[in-house]
Structure 1
Amino acid sequence: MSRVSSYQRSARWKVSWLFVFIALACLPFSDLSITTYDPWAELGRLFEGLLQPTLGGVDNPFQALLQTLAFALLGVSGGALVGFGLAQLFHLRWVRIICASLRAVHELFWALIFLQIFGLHPLTGLLALGIPYAATFAKVYAEIIEEGDRSAYEVVCRQSGPISAFFYAQLPDLWRHIVSYTSYRLECGLRSSAVLGFVGLPTLGYYLSTAFLEGSYGELWALLMLFYLVILTLRYWAQPRLMPIYCLAAPFIIANDSEISLANISRFFTQDIVPLPLRNGEGLAGLWHWLSELFVNDALPGIINTLLLTQLALVLTGIIALLWFPLISRLFFKRWGRLVGHLFLVVMRSTPEYILAFILLMLWGPSMLPAVLALAMHNGAIIAHLIGRYSDALPVRLDGITGINRYAYQVVPAIYNQFLAFLFYRWEIIQRETAILGILGITTLGFYIDSAIQDIRLDRAMVLIAITAALNVGVDALSHSIRSRLRLSFGLQRDVVAR
């Protein structure tokens, strides 16, 4: 047993260094330049706004906040209901394939698709959130059910059948994990809902982008503080008994006078997404030439840049997580120090990567650097929070080891298994975000997708979105394979990984 354990530890370190070396090899091919004229002066003005936050120039900021909350509540609750149903069928291969494909497409890509069908109708935001969230809920709920204790279920099943046995004997034991994961996904839904404003929906993202583009940094910080306040108080206002009331009120908040055009829906499915050669009657030869040109000119450079950026962000995420987790660990800081560390990590993990990248992009210019830092800081804070909590359960040695020695020789080796499990679990999430950051002007797959949509070439956009989804599914499968080979697991702690 000790020999196997030693082999596994060695394999984990080798895989870690392999990923570091791959990231170093990616550096010469990555654009990490700062192209703005005076970035540090602009950064100074940004932080000056922090000292004078104001909502005076924002029209109806609380209405935007309510819109953000309403979209998140309806999108997440709808996704949870559908996902719970799909979880019962997740043992079927076709259900797993469909769910993997749906959750591999980012919420913003879904929003861009539905904007072409429904316009700024509330259905655009609800479907953009609900579809990928339903697929994610299905996967995680199925894993929670699979890993739960089935002894009571087997006994009751003999007497009353599988449905009654599940609801009366198995579900009560799993309910705590289901509620815990669902509440964490609500926090994710709030971030996603805010970001939907960047494509025109009336959530906080719309006002954040407007404030930044106009240089109104006081308004920017005030809006962010309002959002952080909602996240910080989530556990108090998001009580399960209040959710039905919120969900009943939410449709009245997001309702507007937009109308759904049946002509637009028909044109989207019968013309817009049909490849141009097929519309022109050019046959398979014309379709092959069209696909080849699309792959060489758009898909291939987008794939390369997406993978480069993902690899850099993944490794930097790991480094940041290892540096930041002591901020909230009782092994390194006392109560007040940990409180400051908690506040810092809450701010970093509550700020959506897209918003953080948008701010850095405006300060430094359209290179990969803002995207790498945004992805690494956000995901690093999430993992630091998880392993910081995990480290609190470690036994403290009584031989007086402290400081850097405790960190390097006692704590990091003890938490490294959990650290790698969390890091590889978020690999696919980082790549999903990497692709979508192309909308901001970084030449990942999202850049070419957004360009095709802007040019009203929706057939090209749909092919590129499908390639993005396939790439994400591939990375998710590779991550799962690595975790299995290294025996990296966190059991039912998975309900906090996607926070």
Structure 2
Amino acid sequence: MWQSATVRTSLGFVLVAAACVFFADLDISGHDPWGELNRLFFGLIQPSFANLDYLGEALVRTLAFAFVGVGLGAGAGLLLALMFGSRIVRTFCAFIRAIHELFWALIFLQFFGLHPLTGVLAIAIPYAGVFGKVYAEILDESDPQPAQILPFGVGTVTALIYTRISQAWPHLTSYTYYRLECGLRSSAVLGFVGMPTLGFYLESSFSQGHYGEVGALLLLFYGMITTLRFWVRPRLVPLYLLAAPFLLGSGLPIRWDNVTRFFTEDIVPAPLRNGEGLGELWVWLLELLSTEALPGIWNTLVLTQIALVITGVLTLLLYPLGSRHFTNRLTGPLGHIVLVVLRSTPEYLLAFILLQLWGPSMLPAVVALAVHNSGIIGHLIGRRSNEITLRPDAPNGIERYAYELTPRLYGPFLAFLFYRWEIIMRETAILGILGIATLGFYVDSAIQEIRFDRAMVLILITALLNIGVDILARYLRRRLHLRHTAKSEP
């Protein structure tokens, strides 16, 4: 029964994605796209560090924004996790994590400008929502018995520290370490909206056709991610957290009157701001929905479903690279490096590069989303396969893949894929900033036209859409009895 339901659900998603292909713009229209791709490849294998005098500063800024943003997000997330039983807290966490870091950055840019606070809050706020959810699930998995045998009179905080938190500490730190890796990606991507991180200089070098410098920046970024476990030691983390705020740089002084005006005037719908009635407000909303919101929602859904299914297909092809059942001492490290590179490359960064090479269409976004997310899920499924013990006479090669391991891993694979569904949709929306007609395209256009009231409505629609997909994904996981532990969530 479970297998038939799983097969039907999988085929349903494949058919929906196949139908979406007919409505998607997947053309390649760039001038000499394969020649440009070839030049980028040679930039990667022949990087130029000669003119990168800004390299050290860009690296320090990227690390500083990541540590401060993730640190604040983890602290706030732990507090939210302790109150996660409240429906209000759960709804709040779902809402703030449903809005992408770049959307938060675009909002804060309007009144803080290119101030360090913009980048820090853009990372910290959505990460607090993610930490709150995952930390709560990890704490819920702890054994309740130690709390029942504590002596009378022990304070609530003391009891919490010595029972639930002490048990969950290894999983809490492991997940926080993973989110730091995500924070480094987010910090780098903030450069595309003007913050002085690696993404800012990468965009500049790419726009000028300096592929050697692009290769150097990309290799530096990959090196920073792959060596994370060597330089992020538990004893050093407090030092990093203390030093990071002083390495964020400085910006123009914050004008708090701009902050006040943004909330009291700029984001107020134009009809209300002009003293018009509810009838004019309704007309304004209908026009916004018909000309921007509905086309943006449609393109976001179409692109998301295609990317989701391709992510699943690539994951099933890639997970053997991280499995000891298919690799040896030579191929194992190579497979690990491939998966690290795939999952370490931010979707936004890869989509930006492919858009420059292939021209404006949905294809760069589909490829970028599928490559990044399949790298993450492939790594997790490969790690899960290492926990399986095969019988001595188990077959090898394709038969081992098709009949021994993949059927036993398909449940966790679907669980992780459905978990990433909401994340893929959130990334799909933000890729509109690059020119793809998803919701982010209309948000960015409204901000460029200084129509913040329209932008805020569209951002709210984006958040509600992501929350809806998350609810549907959780329903499917429950219906199909798909499980994965909170400590291994991607």
TM-score by length of 2: 0.98
Give yes or no for contact 1:144–1:178 (8 Å, CA) kept in 2. Answer: yes
Where does residue 310 of structure 1 map in the other structure? 304
Looking at structure 2, the residues matched to 208 and 483 of structure 1 have their Cα atoms a distance apart, in angstroms, of 39
Give yes or no for contact 1:31–1:367 (8 Å, CA) kept in 2. Answer: yes
Where does residue 80 of structure 1 map in the other structure? 74
Please identify, of 331-340 and 183-192, the stretch whose mean Cα deviation from structure 2 is larger.
Answer: 331-340
Letter in 1 for 2:488: V
Looking at structure 1, the residues matched to 152 and 143 of structure 2 have their Cα atoms a distance apart, in angstroms, of 16
Where does residue 244 of structure 1 map in the other structure? 238
The 5 A counterparts of 1:297-376 are 297-376=291-370
Letter in 1 for 2:489: V
Name which of 462, 482, 495 aligns with 2:487: 495
Shift, 1:36, TM fit: 1.0
Shift, 1:161, TM fit: 4.4
Shift, 1:154, TM fit: 2.0
Give yes or no for contact 2:225–2:344 (8 Å, CA) kept in 1. Answer: yes
Shift, 1:159, TM fit: 4.9
- CA deviation vs aligned residue, 1:218-277 (integer Å, no higher than 9, x gap): 111111111111111111111122112111111221131421011211211111101111
The gaps in structure 1 that reach 5 residues or longer are: 1-6
Shift, 1:394, TM fit: 1.3
- CA deviation vs aligned residue, 1:54-102 (integer Å, no higher than 9, x gap): 1222341111011000000000000100110111111001111111100
Looking at structure 2, the residues matched to 124 and 413 of structure 1 have their Cα atoms a distance apart, in angstroms, of 46
Give yes or no for contact 1:26–1:308 (8 Å, CA) kept in 2. Answer: yes
Where does residue 108 of structure 1 map in the other structure? 102
Name which of 166, 176, 198 aligns with 1:182: 176
- Residue 165 in structure 1 maps to residue 159 in structure 2: yes
Where does residue 27 of structure 2 map in the other structure? 33
Where does residue 208 of structure 2 map in the other structure? 214
Letter in 1 for 2:333: L
Letter in 2 for 1:233: T
Shift, 1:158, TM fit: 4.9
Letter in 1 for 2:71: S
The 5 A counterparts of 1:372-387 are 372-387=366-381
Please identify, of 364-373 and 253-262, the stretch whose mean Cα deviation from structure 2 is larger.
Answer: 253-262
CA distance change for structure 1 residues 159 and 316 in 2, over 3 Å: closer, same or farther? Answer: same
Identity of aligned residues (%): 59
Looking at structure 1, the residues matched to 314 and 52 of structure 2 have their Cα atoms a distance apart, in angstroms, of 35
Name which of 189, 194, 217 aligns with 2:188: 194
Shift, 1:37, TM fit: 2.3
Name which of 12, 17, 23 aligns with 1:18: 12
Give yes or no for contact 1:157–1:165 (8 Å, CA) kept in 2. Answer: no
Shift, 1:170, TM fit: 2.0
Give yes or no for contact 2:44–2:219 (8 Å, CA) kept in 1. Answer: no
Where does residue 471 of structure 1 map in the other structure? 465
Give yes or no for contact 1:317–1:380 (8 Å, CA) kept in 2. Answer: yes
**3-state SS, counterpart of residue 451 of structure 1:** helix
Where does residue 452 of structure 1 map in the other structure? 446
Give yes or no for contact 2:394–2:400 (8 Å, CA) kept in 1. Answer: no
- Residue 127 in structure 1 maps to residue 127 in structure 2: no
- CA deviation vs aligned residue, 1:437-473 (integer Å, no higher than 9, x gap): 0000000000000000001100000000000000000
Give yes or no for contact 2:67–2:244 (8 Å, CA) kept in 1. Answer: yes
The gaps in structure 2 that reach 5 residues or longer are: none
Please identify, of 398-407 and 29-38, the stretch whose mean Cα deviation from structure 2 is larger.
Answer: 398-407
Letter in 2 for 1:451: S
**3-state SS, counterpart of residue 236 of structure 2:** helix
Would you identify which runs of 4 or more consecutive aligned residues in structure 1 move more than 3 Å?
Answer: none
Where does residue 430 of structure 2 map in the other structure? 436
Say how many residue pairs are matched: 490
Give yes or no for contact 2:76–2:128 (8 Å, CA) kept in 1. Answer: yes
Name which of 265, 284, 292 aligns with 2:278: 284
Shift, 1:118, TM fit: 0.2
Looking at structure 2, the residues matched to 258 and 167 of structure 1 have their Cα atoms a distance apart, in angstroms, of 41
Give yes or no for contact 2:114–2:251 (8 Å, CA) kept in 1. Answer: no
Letter in 2 for 1:146: D
**3-state SS, counterpart of residue 202 of structure 1:** coil
- RMSD, aligned α-carbons: 1.1
**3-state SS, counterpart of residue 196 of structure 2:** coil
CA distance change for structure 1 residues 36 and 257 in 2, over 3 Å: closer, same or farther? Answer: closer
- CA deviation vs aligned residue, 1:146-201 (integer Å, no higher than 9, x gap): 11111101222755243322111221111000000000000000000000000000
**3-state SS, counterpart of residue 241 of structure 1:** coil
CA distance change for structure 1 residues 400 and 92 in 2, over 3 Å: closer, same or farther? Answer: closer
Where does residue 3 of structure 1 map in the other structure? none
Looking at structure 2, the residues matched to 247 and 400 of structure 1 have their Cα atoms a distance apart, in angstroms, of 49
